[in-house]
Structure 1
Amino acid sequence: MELSVQIRKKLRDFELDVAFETGSEVFALLGASGCGKSMTLRCIAGIETPDCGRIVLNGRTLYDSAQGICLKPQQRRVGYLFQNYALFPNMTVAENIRFAASGSREEQEKKVKENLVRFSLDELQDAYPAELSGGQQQRVAFARILVSPAELLLLDEPFSALDGYMKWQLEMELSEVLKSYDGAALLVSHDRGEVFRLADKAAVIHRGKMEPVHTKHGLFRQPDTLAATILTGCKNITQARRLDMHHIYAADWNMVLETEQEVPANVRYAGVRAHFLHRSREMEPNVFPMDVIRVIEDTFSYLIMVRRKGMQGRMICWEVPKEEWEPSVSAELFLRFPADEIMLMER
């Protein structure tokens, strides 16, 4: 299975410029609302037309501006799960699934029955979409694209309309579906946890520009850019400048920090995740005395907002499990910024 995408399309505020290749895996596009993620899927599906470029799926050219090729959506063998599920309101659950099924009448019926059971919809097969909950509608939409001859699944923020518990249940179902699926899947999301749990590889789209492709672990370990660092959930980011090969000045925190990785000449920002900071009992490199400015109680942890002792600047967030936080340490607190956890960004 191979998908190759290289397209450009002028949007209202910026140009969408996307290029990537993927195989039999889950490839995620992570980005803020309005950055061009969904438009990328719509262009691949044939719902929208790029201004120029090329899209090739398993050796079949779906779109090529130079050759004048632009297959219709129904010719592309692409299954698209829309945010609003796009079920036919005048069809029952079974009819919605059957509509997309390929093969003979017998084969279609077999696929419908298998997926009704698979998604716990057998008792709802005669119901209409308006009679279903959001989670039930989503299961019908999953079933419908899986009975089609799709070589590629496009999942456009598939859980955005669901509450926490239902989202988790359906995410687990989708995870099992994707494990047994022979083709590729593109997942669009602004939820970093969703991307980490479901995807094999990921890339950030920022104002239409696609940033470097990473494994999911690589993206969260070293995001490379400011946009990617923010989207992957880092709470502590500072402007930075290079002092030498392994030291930076963190301007917003008033600190000189040692780094394990070599500092690029054009470094502009540095970041460290809140849960990687550690309390220290002694002064050593990358350990600083802190003033506790504010303590925020989260569900299972405390977010301790601190600044370097006696100085002004941007607050730093230290995330601590509830059982480990001792309010008494606020009078004298030293925090270590691990050299191997400092992320450096050139843009």
Structure 2
Amino acid sequence: MPTFVELVQPKVETAVARGLFALPGPAKRLLAGSPISVDGQRLALEAQLLLKLQQLGGQHGLSASNAEVARAAMRRGSGLFGSARVPGVVVADRSIPGPHGALNARVYRPRELTEPGDLLVFYHGGGWVIGDLDTHDDLCRFLARHAGVRVLSVEYRLAPEFPFPAAYDDALHAYRFAVEHAEELGSSRERIAVGGDSAGGNLAASVAVHAATGGLPRPSFQLLIYPAVDATTRRPSRELFGNGFLLTDGDMDWFMGQYAPSLDERGDPRLSVLLAEDVSAAPPAHVVTAGFDPLRDEGEAYAERLADAGVPVVTRRFPDLIHGFASLGAVGGRFREALFEIAGALRAGLALR
């Protein structure tokens, strides 16, 4: 049984963190330090303050000595900077039966949305190693409420216990489930989109490209938030932002070593979707990147690849933000502004599909 201190400490830390972010701008600047500019971009004050707090707390990245330690750290961070319940959203847990066991899932519906409509199948981020329904609960609630869409958030098997292509297989199976149960989920086969952040963006992009090869209709839209799309090439952003901006270069090496330890697997287009032979059948896309993110360049390269193939795509770089910002809406300020823009883009993309 947890001790009193163990129960109270997270609440105190959360209150302190939120109090710091509620300070006036000059006070936050004093705490965060001098402005940081790299590659012609200036880091947002809220992002710099967050990084300062993590540095003071001894956290310098997302990887750890083993997967369980990293998962616990992400859950703790999610509780510290998240948990701002979005009102007006009806939430229900459910289970998706599958060949490798049931997948946990969660359905979000804006309370006022009672007629059939669009459904976003969402895959959480976390390097294919960490993250779950709870760490991305706030983000899914936000998208459901402010994009006016139902969201089916899906857990998938994590590495290293289940290496590549387990996560991809589960992601494709979850999309197949959504298609086959579209009416039950309040949608139709033609109105199912996919989306995700980071590793989840990787899974969404892969499903969007490869659904047809599995005999499935293509998704109606894809929302890719700072996706990982190429495990074979180190682009300049990996060097520019590989240390000190939450997701580190070492983190990416660690995550990939857990998920795809064999170098021969990393060029597989189910993982490195940027290398897929043909992406012209992919659905319209909204690709989001962050300026201070090691994954920035590969996400934008994928958007260019889609555009060159004739796929309608909008690319939006938030030049002042860091990887992971979509999970920081509860902090407010610049993070929340960016989330509102993403939700608006999702709403528009689904309306114009």
TM-score, with length taken from structure 2: 0.26
Which structure's CA Rg is the greater one? 1
Higher helix residue share:
2
TM-score, with length taken from structure 1: 0.26
